[in-house]
């Protein structure tokens, strides 16, 4: 199999090679190099490709097979999480603290020494947020940011990137409320990239890359025109701060 392809010095609007040319080992590696220009990133997501690399590596572009996705209408909530959703004390917001969320997501986990969310990556997604493509979901407790997630919205598809939690259940509650909002807006698909037990517990499932790319062809478009604000209920805990 040919690859990975080199993208050095190619214009940002250059299309990526077909994802079917991605390596099987490591699974999904398609290309190396280029930059994180907003146009290149948008082209990548529309083709089912995302960047993922450590600070000491060149930019690596991936399209793994299979692909972990969540169909919003298939979300699974455990009995304990359903109870927590009824009684939680978090305030859930959207696009209220994008830079703070991505900074929190960049902090190494207890079992990790470094982070894949370099300053270069954080700046690139902040640009996409300014352009209306990247969005954050926040969980607040006593006016402190304690959990959240961020990703890219194109058409009826949300490409999840990362989440964090500083308080038990904060990211779970934020994610559950977020998915319900996606259902309300008729989003068809949430891309979870690669399998994790955490997302599998929510009902995320592996699908063949060809099926995933067909979904993108049907449902992926330009930036969402929604006002990114929780509007699925009147609960004050899930409203934007004034």
The predicted structure's pLDDT at residue 2: 67
Classify residue 132 as left (phi > 0), alpha (psi -120 to 50) or beta. left
Q: How buried is residue 200: exposed, middle or buried, by Cβ count under 10 Å (0-12/13-18/19+)?
A: middle
Mean pLDDT by 10 residues, the chain (242 residues): 84 95 96 97 97 92 97 96 92 97 86 69 96 97 97 97 95 96 96 90 97 97 85 53 36
The predicted structure's pLDDT at residue 237: 44
For the domain made up of 5-65, the CATH class stated in words is alpha beta
The predicted structure's pLDDT at residue 110: 58
Q: Whole-model pTM?
A: 0.92
The predicted structure's pLDDT at residue 24: 95
Reading the block at residue 227, the tokens are: 């006002």
**153, 182 contact by CB (below 8 A):** no
* Residue in this structure with the two tokens 């299979």, named with its chain if needed: 66
Angstrom distances, CA of residue 222 to CA of 42, 154, 158, 219: 9, 5, 11, 10
Q: What is the largest CA-CA distance in the chain?
A: 55
The domain over range 68-238 is classified in CATH as 3.90.1150.10: no
Q: Where in the chain is the domain with CATH 3.30.70.3550?
A: 5-65
Q: Where in the chain is the domain with CATH 3.40.630.70?
A: 68-238
The predicted structure's pLDDT at residue 241: 38
């Amino acid at each position: 199999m040919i690859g990975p392809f080199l993208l050095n010095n190619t214009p940002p609007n250059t299309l990526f090679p077909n994802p079917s040319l991605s390596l099987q080992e490591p699974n999904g590696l398609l290309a190396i190099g280029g930059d994180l220009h907003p146009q290149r990133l948008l082209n990548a997501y529309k083709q089912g490709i995302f960047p993922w690399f450590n600070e000491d590596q060149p930019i690596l572009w991936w399209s793994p097979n299979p692909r972990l996705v969540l169909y919003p209408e298939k979300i699974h909530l455990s009995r304990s999480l359903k109870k927590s959703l009824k009684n939680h004390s978090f305030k859930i917001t959207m696009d209220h603290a994008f830079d703070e969320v991505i900074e929190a997501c960049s902090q190494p986990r207890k079992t990790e020494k470094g982070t894949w969310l370099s300053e270069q990556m954080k700046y690139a997604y902040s640009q996409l947020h300014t352009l209306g493509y990247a969005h954050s979901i926040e969980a607040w407790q006593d006016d402190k940011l304690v959990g959240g997630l961020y990703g890219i919205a194109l058409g009826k598809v949300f490409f999840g990137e990362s989440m964090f939690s500083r308080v038990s259940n904060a990211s779970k509650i934020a994610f559950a409320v977020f998915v319900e909002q996606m259902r309300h807006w008729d989003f068809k698909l949430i891309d979870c990239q690669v399998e994790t037990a955490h997302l599998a517990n929510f009902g995320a499932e592996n699908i063949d890359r060809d099926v995933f790319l067909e979904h993108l062809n049907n449902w992926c478009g330009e930036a969402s025109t929604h006002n990114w604000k929780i509007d699925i209920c009147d609960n004050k805990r899930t409203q934007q701060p004034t």
